[in-house]
């Protein structure tokens, strides 16, 4: 029994370490990688659960991917699993940032680093575009969802409304509509 628990904890650490070390862009850019690793390869969570974890992770303090790692780790192995998965996700960043701080002064001024980051930014933009498209296909399930998507986009990009207000407003609107439909009585 103890060996099985250790195996699960090691697997949580190693999977999230791998995700943490090979992803740039954070947050929503990690969605396709997490979906492949957690849903498709291992079956730890469903696609809908992962979207729910992302939604919660986005509306709570902290980094989305770290929050998702915590949720998945907790689901698989309780509190210790949540801690181990979280550590696995952040450990690569700790290593990389420590090495950069220790050995390279003016890191961002080095020409090859600038060029590499420019290329990475373009790749991250493509990954983000794909992730947003995939996320919206799974999240927008009816006319209300589509209207909320368009309205949120307009409020954020044209009227510069803070995303915090959009998230809270959408949550309140969703609860009100569910209550009006009587969905809480089921």
DSSP result, 94-146: HHHHHHHHHH-TTGGGSHHHHHHHHHHHHHHHHHHHHHHHHHHHHH--SHHHH
Give me the pLDDT at residue 137, please.
86
Give me the pLDDT at residue 84, please.
97
Neighbours of 61 (CB within 10 A): 6
Stronger pLDDT, 59 or 142, i.e. the higher one: 142
Instruction: Please give the mean pLDDT across all residues of the chain.
Output: 88
User: Domain residue spans in the chain?
Assistant: 2-139, 141-186
Give me the pLDDT at residue 86, please.
95
How much of the chain, in percent, has pLDDT values that exceed 70?
97
Give me the pLDDT at residue 153, please.
92
Give me the pLDDT at residue 159, please.
96
Dihedral angle over CA of 157, 47, 80, 25, nearest 10: -40
CA angle 151, 155, 156 (to 5 degrees): 120
Give the C-alpha distances (Å, rounded to integers) separating 26 from 46, 75, 77, 124, 174.
21, 22, 24, 9, 27
Give this prediction's pTM. 0.69
Structure tokens at 89: 């996700």
H-helix or E-strand containing 170? Answer: helix 163-180
For 41-94, the pLDDT digits (tens) are 999 999 889 888 988 888 788 888 899 999 999 999 999 999 999 999 999 989
For 96-115, the pLDDT digits (tens) are 888 877 777 777 778 888 88
Structure tokens at 91: 């450990």
Sign for the CA dihedral angle at 80, 82, 87, 88 comes to: positive
Give me the pLDDT at residue 157, please.
93
Per-residue pLDDT at 186 exceeds 60: no
Give me the pLDDT at residue 32, please.
83
How much of the chain, in percent, has pLDDT values that exceed 90?
41
């Amino acid at each position: 029994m103890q060996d099985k628990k250790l195996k699960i904890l090691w697997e949580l650490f190693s999977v999230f370490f791998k995700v943490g070390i090979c992803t740039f862009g954070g947050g929503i850019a990690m969605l396709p990688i997490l979906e492949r690793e957690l849903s498709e390869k291992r079956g730890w969570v469903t696609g809908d659960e992962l979207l729910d974890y992302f939604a919660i992770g986005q509306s709570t303090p902290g980094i989305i991917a770290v929050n998702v790692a915590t949720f998945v780790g907790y689901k698989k192995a309780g509190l210790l699993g949540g801690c181990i998965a979280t550590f696995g996700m952040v450990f690569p960043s700790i290593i990389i940032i420590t090495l950069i701080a220790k050995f390279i002064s003016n890191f961002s001024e080095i020409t090859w680093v600038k060029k590499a980051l420019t290329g990475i930014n373009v790749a991250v933009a493509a990954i983000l575009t794909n992730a947003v498209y995939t996320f919206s296909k799974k999240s927008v399930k009816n006319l209300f969802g589509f209207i909320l998507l368009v309205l949120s986009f307009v409020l954020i990009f044209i009227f510069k409304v803070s995303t915090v207000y959009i998230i809270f407003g959408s949550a309140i609107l969703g609860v009100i509509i569910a209550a009006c439909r009587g969905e809480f009585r089921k």
